[in-house]
């Protein structure tokens, strides 16, 4: 809740949290590797995400 308030105070029009977020149970080695790859490569793709906002220094 405190994070949401702080973000909203700086960026009133920003929705900071994903809608329809859900957990995922890892079911086997292939599933694990797919999730690991997604997590591992995510930072390199973040600037391309439609929700990316560059916060000024």
- Say whether pLDDT at 15 is over 80: no
Report the pLDDT value the prediction gives residue 29, as an integer from 0 to 100. Answer: 96
Comparing CA positions, the residue from 13, 5, 2 lying closest to residue 53 is 13
56/10 Cα distance (integer angstroms): 11
Asked whether the whole model's pTM tops 0.85, one would answer no
Sign of CA dihedral 45, 22, 13, 10: negative
Contacts of 53 (CB under 8 A, 6+ apart): 11, 14
pLDDT at residue 16, as a whole number:
75
Q: Tell me the pLDDT tens digit for each residue of 18-42.
A: 777 778 899 999 999 999 998 899 8
């Amino acid at each position: 809740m405190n994070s949401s308030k702080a973000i909203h105070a700086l960026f009133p029009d920003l929705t900071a949290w994903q809608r329809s977020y859900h957990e995922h149970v890892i079911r086997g080695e292939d599933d694990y590797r797919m999730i690991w790859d997604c997590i591992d490569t995510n930072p390199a793709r973040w600037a391309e995400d439609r929700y990316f906002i560059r916060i000024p220094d």
